[in-house]
Amino acid sequence: MSVRDRILARRELDALRMARDLDGLAAALNAMPDLELRHRYITARTILAECDDGPAILAALDSAASMNTAVKYAVQFLGQDSGLNVGDQVTQAMLDSLVPAVLNAEQAEQVKAMAMLPQIVTRFDVEAAMYNPDGTEK
């Protein structure tokens, strides 16, 4: 959802909007941020730390690596400090394709969700979304 749509959808922000309180609007949106798919590089350590089924996920990927070239390289990237970009559309699609042969649906979602990060809104984002250069509301 766009910054403008998020502001207009929340009636409790009307007073801030009418006052053109850019900082207040940004703070209110950031207090309840929307999540968006973003690039995020993870390692096996990240999976162990953040996924409920971390050990099982890594074991399943390790087992499939010898039979699937994409999984083989993904596992290699998970072992490097630079990691694997789970926010990449191709990686997200690969995780979907591993269900149910390698991962169950919940395990794939746990890994994919690691790339769902808060949409942080700045004062400038609010200004650009809501107001014209002369200060009038768009």
pLDDT in tens, 73-107: 999 999 999 999 999 999 999 999 999 999 999 99
Question: Do the beta carbons of residue 124 and residue 104 sit within 8 Å?
Answer: no
- Provide the percentage of residues in the chain whose pLDDT is more than 70: 100
pLDDT of residue 1: 87
Q: Name the average pLDDT for the chain.
A: 97
- Provide the percentage of residues in the chain whose pLDDT is more than 90: 99
- pLDDT(135) > 90: no
- pLDDT(9) > 90: yes
Instruction: Tell me the mean pLDDT in the region 48-71.
Output: 97
Please tell me the distance from the alpha carbon of residue 51 to that of residue 32, in angstroms, as a whole number: 23
pLDDT of residue 95: 97
Q: Look at residues 92, 71, 74 and name the one whose alpha carbon lies nearest to residue 82.
A: 74
The model's pTM: 0.80
